[in-house]
Amino acid sequence: MAASNSKNCPGCGATLPPYADTCPTCGMRQPPSQTSWIKRLSPVEVFLLILGSIMLAIGLVAL
Ligand SMILES: [Zn+2]
């Protein structure tokens, strides 16, 4: 089974180190391979998450 964490440069097709942020062959800047989980949330979900955190904080202070 081939390692799935290697990636190829979209510009020149060279195989890149897993954590390279620029291609060593052509210098093309690479998109981040894994976005953080919060960036995959929709704006509504982020809003609800923040709202929920605030409500929880208020609840903890009020009690
Ligand atoms: Zn490249």
> Residue 57 has what pLDDT?
94
Distance 38 CA to ligand 1 centre (A): 29
Distance 39 CA to ligand 1 centre (A): 26
What type of residue sits at position 59?
Answer: G
Specify whether 23 is located in the same domain as 40.
Answer: no
**Model pTM above 0.85:** no
> Residue 26 has what pLDDT?
95
Specify whether 20 is located in the same domain as 1.
Answer: yes
> Residue 37 has what pLDDT?
59
Specify whether 27 is located in the same domain as 52.
Answer: no
Say which residues have a Cβ less than 8 Å from residue 26's Cβ, sequence separation at least 6: 9, 11, 12, 14
Output the tens digit of pLDDT for each of the chain's 63 residues.
Answer: 555 567 888 889 999 888 788 899 999 988 765 556 556 778 898 899 999 999 999 999 887
Specify whether 17 is located in the same domain as 43.
Answer: no
Distance 11 CA to ligand 1 centre (A): 5
Distance 29 CA to ligand 1 centre (A): 8
> Residue 39 has what pLDDT?
63
Q: Rounded to 5 degrees, what are φ and ψ at 43?
A: -55, -35
The parent domain of residue 25 ranges over: 1-31
Distance 8 CA to ligand 1 centre (A): 8
Looking at the structure of the chain, the number of domains it has is 2
What type of residue sits at position 7?
Answer: K
The answer to whether the CB of 49 falls within 8 A of the CB of 42 is no
